[in-house]
Homo-oligomer: A and B are copies of this chain.
């Protein structure tokens, strides 16, 4: 079944073994034990900081429009066309009046272009540790993301040293990370660096994945990239009132070539600015009816982020590709169970 499709998908597309073989390989078993520890550590840390865990929706009338080139998937809800969640960001915002500090371990589905099957960094099904904090600004969200990653890395390094060793990952890789002092660079600075390296990075878009890998390779610990240009992200990211055209958002990039681990920012929360954001992104506000009704009733200002679970697990294990850290991997365009 997959042999056939692999050929169609191109010579670089990984060949995924049958599921039973994939799961019984010592590499997958160890990666899954790391993943389980990441989740336990994240839950322990966030609950200790006063966050409530909720179970996110899987489907809804609309989903996050902010995906980079990924297609949304339709599901029939009793004659209504619903979407599978690419991210539950809108639900996080609407839940903040009830749970001012909340998180999901959210399963998301994105039909990325089949060419991304060989990047090592894209899956059709993946999970985010999805955090939102009422009243927080970007600095607050960045601090929570950094603390969360440090806690997770420390716990895996301390609790699973033999598993990391079996995977070929030397804990010294995380030495600088654990010292803190993570840099912040603006999107514009990163674009300049990449241009200087001969990489053609579009200044008006997110850093592309090759670009992320390049800057990530040069670092010895994770670093933040801030101030993405308007239009490069979803309408919900808040524009800097003092620097129109620039968003008060951030990514957290890994060192060692692993690229983006976290994506987040301050959110728009007033009705007018959200409707403008939707229009500017080329969409019809009517599509977001239920959400805009909630916004009209009032949602708090907030900041938050999504941390890619499989990406963090790959970073911890040092494996080549996200499919190797997924129990039931689905690569874009590759037919597997």
Contacts and interface: CB of A to CB of B under 8 A. Distances in A.
A182 interface: no
A107 B107 contact: yes
A contact residues, range: 35 or more
Interface string A30-53: 001101100110010001000011
Interface in A272-312: 289-291, 293-294, 297-299, 309
In the complex, the count of this chain's copies comes to 2
Given A36-B53, A74-B76, A58 B337 contact: no
Given A18-B297, A20-B294, A73-B75, A35 B55 contact: yes
Contacts of A323: none
Given A19-B94, A54-B327, A107-B107, A59 B290 contact: no
Contact of A291 (B23, B36, B337): B337
A76 B58 CA distance: 16
A124 interface: yes
Interface string A97-115: 1110000000101010010
Given A33-B52, A52-B36, A78-B332, A20 B299 contact: yes
A125 interface: yes
A29 interface: yes
A59 B77 CA distance: 16
A61 interface: yes
A60 interface: yes
Given A1-B289, A57-B125, A335-B77, A23 B94 contact: yes
A78 to B, nearest CB: 5
Given A23-B98, A53-B39, A328-B91, A18 B294 contact: yes
A300 to B, nearest CB: 11
B61 A337 contact: yes
Given A20-B98, A77-B124, 18 more contacts: A1-B290, A18-B297, A19-B91, A20-B294, A20-B297, A20-B299, A36-B53, A54-B327, A55-B107, A55-B309, A55-B326, A55-B328, A57-B328, A57-B330, A57-B337, A58-B107, A74-B76, A77-B335
